[in-house]
């Protein structure tokens, strides 16, 4: 028994180091973005203030950040809406066996594991050959969907796996049509999970870089703008921007997980 | 409800999603294949059938770039496995309550949903010439000169990728470890197996599919990688993804396409060989 507890403590220490490895770098830039006005890019911290966080919103310091931010918000919302609609429909389709479902399933997996640069290049080539200009809201939107849709679809499959079909059967026995059953029975039950999936989809799109990078056209999304800043911004404003955008994503994720957890608990309580 | 509608319903339901994949995944990749045979005269491409692009990339430089990419892949794979497995194992077998397991797993997952770019930038104040690591080592007198290899180097590229992608190794391993029947472990212990034997004979074989899925993710993520190589690597750090990106930057689409097709083929070969060694079907 003594040996077992030693393994436990070793693994616990290893796990703590791992968490430090995951979060440590993030924490350093949080700290450095709270420096005084004459702060630099490295430690030690020079003073403490919210000066740099405020500077993010001043145009002259870090270039234009508001417009890419707004673009990323709009794109994220559009990606979220399409992803939710398409993945809910598709996962409902998968509740019933049908010919070709394996092919469709593997196509979804392929979308997830094809090297991102191929998706980006491919969409770029199609637009080039067709003579269409690439744009964040056309080619960029498509590139985002190849990333968010398979993830949302796999989560939705999991949700419907746990879903109790007797409610729907009851509704149908009482004479409800398919669409009525969906809106009055299925939708209220999956709504909280949809909120979770939606927020996850939004942050995936909001932070996407690789697949967008070759097809965003003239106007950058926020991650692309930040990537551009890495070479020419040499003040803690860059860290401040990183801090703000990370806090934004992280809070969305936390809301998503809590919403999802709440619904799982509620359904378990009912079952 | 008519029988025809019942058969057709699933097809109607999957149509929007399938259209998205056909339009933005299948068709573009087919187009890459087509364009890779087109003629390219330095500034524009014309439909044709030529192998010139493939001949054009059969050079020493391409070969070395692939070798370098394999080097990154090997190091990232080994590091994510050696770090990821103990983490997943700890969560699955040493954390007592399900609530705690989920919570700690969440803690590992959250950074994955935030911006990759920011996560890479975060290494700068730690690893730079005047970064925290160098300051500490010089402070205690271990080194006189700041270590240059920490940032903008192959080391930094591998570190960056491990940091970004390790969750893709942890999640599938954690998943397969959680599915192992605890009674199997108890049975092995009752029959007198030592802790190491239980791990080697029971736990490791049963978690192999998780390792396989994690490895497939790492392969596909690292093989096409160019952002980390650009941000964290020095000017001379090379990868296939970066090569393709450079060619696209100078609008050499047919060359980039030929390279991408070779990259896809190589990636598929690696994945197929992983699947030959380990069967993952029961995980899906």
Which helix H or strand E contains B216, and what residues bound it?
helix B204-223
Domain that holds residue A223: 66-232
Which residues of chain A carry a pLDDT beneath 50?
1-3
Asked, for residue A190, whether it belongs to a domain, the answer is yes
Asked, for residue B25, whether it belongs to a domain, the answer is no
Asked, for residue A164, whether it belongs to a domain, the answer is yes
Asked, for residue A186, whether it belongs to a domain, the answer is yes
Q: What is the DSSP letter of B39?
A: E
Asked, for residue A29, whether it belongs to a domain, the answer is no
Q: Contact, A30 vs A237, CB < 8 A?
A: no
Which helix H or strand E contains B156, and what residues bound it?
helix B154-165
Which tokens sit at B283? 């995980």
Asked, for residue B53, whether it belongs to a domain, the answer is no
Tell me, what's the pLDDT at A2? 44
Asked, for residue B41, whether it belongs to a domain, the answer is no
pLDDT one-digit tens code per residue, A14-72:
999 999 999 988 898 888 888 877 777 777 777 788 877 877 777 655 567 888 889 99
Q: What is the DSSP letter of B112?
A: G
Shortest CA distance from A143: residue in chain B = B24
Whether B122 and chain A come into contact, CB under 8 Å, resolves to yes
Residues ≥6 apart with Cβ < 8 Å to B149:
B155
Please report, rounded to a whole number, the percentage of residues in chain A having pLDDT higher than 90.
Answer: 28
Tell me, what's the pLDDT at A178? 84
Give the number of residues written for chain A. Answer: 271
Contact A42 B130 (CB under 8 A): yes
Q: What sign for the dihedral angle of Cα B217, B72, A119, B55?
A: negative
Domain CATH code at residue A78: 1.10.3720.10
Asked, for residue A197, whether it belongs to a domain, the answer is yes
Asked, for residue A26, whether it belongs to a domain, the answer is no
Tell me, what's the pLDDT at B281? 59
Whether A69 and chain B come into contact, CB under 8 Å, resolves to no
Across the interface, of B14, B23, B32, the residue whose CB is closest to A125 is: B32
Domain that holds residue B262: 58-283
Residues of B in contact with A22 (CB under 8 A): 108, 111, 163
Tell me, what's the pLDDT at A1? 40
ipTM surpassing 0.90: no
User: Cβ of A186: how many Cβ atoms within 10 Å?
Assistant: 19
Query: Average pLDDT of chain A?
Result: 85
Number of domains in chain A: 1
Tell me, what's the pLDDT at A225? 86
A217 beta partners:
A135
Residues of B in contact with A92 (CB under 8 A): 13
Shortest CA distance from B83: residue in chain A = A18
Residues of B in contact with A209 (CB under 8 A): 115-117, 227
pLDDT one-digit tens code per residue, A100-109:
888 999 899 8
Number of domains in chain B: 1
Asked, for residue B14, whether it belongs to a domain, the answer is no
Local confidence pLDDT in tens for the 284 residues of chain B? 577 888 888 899 999 999 999 999 999 999 999 999 998 877 777 888 888 888 888 888 889 999 999 999 999 999 999 999 999 999 999 888 888 898 899 889 888 888 888 899 888 888 888 888 888 888 888 888 888 888 888 899 999 999 999 999 999 999 999 988 889 988 998 898 888 888 888 899 989 989 999 999 999 999 988 889 988 887 778 899 999 988 888 888 898 999 999 999 999 999 989 988 876 655 55
Residue B132, CA atoms < 13 Å, CB-side half-sphere: 16
Give the burial string for B249-268 (b: 16+ CB within 10 Å, else e). eeebbbbbbbbbbbbbebbe
Domain CATH code at residue B274: 1.10.3720.10
Asked, for residue A228, whether it belongs to a domain, the answer is yes
pLDDT one-digit tens code per residue, A31-43:
888 887 777 777 7
Contact A90 B216 (CB under 8 A): no
Contact B130 A142 (CB under 8 A): no
B40 beta partners:
B45
Asked, for residue B44, whether it belongs to a domain, the answer is no
């Amino acid at each position: 028994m003594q040996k077992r507890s030693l393994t436990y403590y070793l693994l616990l220490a290893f796990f703590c180091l791992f968490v430090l490895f995951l979060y440590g770098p993030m924490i350093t830039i949080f700290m450095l973005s709270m420096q005084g006005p004459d702060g630099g890019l490295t430690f030690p911290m020079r003073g403490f203030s919210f000066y740099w966080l405020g500077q993010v919103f001043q145009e002259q310091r870090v270039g234009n950040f508001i417009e890419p931010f707004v673009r990323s918000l709009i794109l994220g919302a559009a990606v979220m809406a399409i992803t939710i609609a398409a993945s809910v429909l598709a996962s409902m389709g998968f509740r019933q066996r049908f010919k070709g479902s394996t092919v469709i399933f593997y196509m979804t997996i392929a979308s997830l594991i094809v090297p991102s640069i191929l998706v980006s290049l491919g969409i770029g080539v199609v637009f080039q050959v067709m003579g269409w200009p690439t744009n964040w809201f056309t080619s960029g939107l498509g590139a985002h969907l190849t990333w968010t849709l398979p993830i949302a679809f796999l989560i939705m499959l999991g949700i419907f796996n746990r879903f109790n079909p007797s409610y729907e059967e009851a509704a149908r026995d009482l004479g409800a049509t398919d669409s009525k059953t969906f809106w009055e029975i299925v939708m209220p039950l999956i709504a909280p999970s949809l909120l979770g999936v939606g927020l996850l989809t939004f942050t995936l799109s909001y932070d996407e870089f690789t697949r967008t990078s070759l097809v965003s056209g003239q106007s950058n999304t926020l991650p692309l703008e930040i990537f551009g800043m890495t070479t020419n911004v040499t003040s803690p404003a860059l860290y401040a921007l990183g801090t703000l955008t990370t806090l934004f994503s992280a809070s969305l994720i936390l809301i998503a997980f809590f919403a999802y957890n709440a619904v799982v608990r509620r359904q378990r309580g009912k079952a | 409800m008519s029988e025809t509608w019942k058969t057709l319903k699933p097809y109607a339901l999957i149509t929007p999603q399938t259209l998205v994949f056909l339009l933005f995944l299948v068709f573009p990749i087919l187009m890459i294949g087509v364009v890779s045979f087109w003629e390219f005269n330095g500034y524009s491409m014309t439909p044709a059938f030529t192998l010139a692009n493939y001949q054009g990339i059969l050079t020493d430089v391409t070969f070395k770039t692939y070798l370098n990419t394999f080097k990154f892949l090997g190091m990232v794979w080994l590091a994510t496995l050696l770090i990821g497995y103990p983490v997943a194992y700890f969560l699955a077998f040493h954390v007592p309550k399900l609530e705690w397991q989920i919570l700690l797993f969440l803690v590992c997952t959250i950074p994955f949903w935030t911006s990759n770019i920011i996560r890479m930038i975060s290494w700068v104040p730690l690893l730079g010439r005047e970064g925290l690591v160098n300051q500490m080592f010089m402070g205690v007198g271990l080194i006189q000169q700041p270590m240059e290899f920490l940032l903008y180097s192959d080391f930094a590229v591998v570190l960056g990728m491990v940091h970004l992608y390790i969750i893709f190794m942890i999640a599938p391993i954690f998943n397969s470890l959680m599915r192992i029947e605890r009674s199997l472990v108890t049975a092995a212990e009752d029959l007198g197996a030592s802790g190491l034997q239980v791990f080697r004979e029971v736990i490791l074989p049963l978690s192999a599919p998780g390792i396989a899925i994690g490895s497939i993710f790492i392969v596909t993520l690292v093989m096409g990688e160019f952002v980390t190589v650009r941000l964290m690597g020095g000017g001379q750090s090379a990868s296939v993804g970066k090569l393709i990106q450079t060619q696209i930057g100078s609008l050499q689409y047919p060359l980039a396409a030929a390279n991408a097709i070779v990259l896809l083929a190589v990636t598929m070969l690696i994945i197929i060989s992983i699947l030959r060694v380990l069967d993952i079907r029961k995980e899906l």
